[in-house]
Each structure stands twice: as structure tokens, then as C-alpha cells.
Amino acid sequence: MLTVDIEKTPFYQMGVEKGKAEERFESAIIMIEKFKLSIDDIVKELNIKKEELLEYMKNLT
């Protein structure tokens, strides 16, 4: 019988990374809206790309 450790597959790892990025984007949006922080401060603190955050926010509407 063939067994595969799904957590070690590239597709699983890509999904995990995508999920982490989305969590950071969601956190960034909350900080921007609730705490009135600037996007530049947020991307620096969360270590995310400004362009990606703006694209994510654009796709939410």
C-alpha cells in the first residue's frame, strides 16, 4: 500500500503559505480600519508587500 505524508507535499505547503498570507491580509485590514493605521506602517510591521495587500483589498469589493 502506498502512503503519502500529505503535509510534506508541495501543494499542501503552497496552501499553508496562501492561508498564512490571507491571515496577514485580514489582520492588516482590521488594523487599518479599526486602529486607523497607515498601510505603509502595516506592510512594514507584517512583512507583506503593499501591492499584494492593495490587490487583496481591491478583490474584496
Quote the pLDDT of residue 3: 74
Q: How far apart are CA 18 and CA 29, in angstroms?
A: 17
Quote the pLDDT of residue 20: 83
Quote the pLDDT of residue 57: 93
Are the C-beta atoms of 42 and 53 separated by less than 8 Å? yes
Count the neighbouring beta carbons within 10 Å of the beta carbon of residue 24: 18
Q: Give the residue ranges of the chain where pLDDT is below 70.
A: 1-2, 4, 6, 9, 11-16
Copy the grid coordinates of residue 58: 481591491
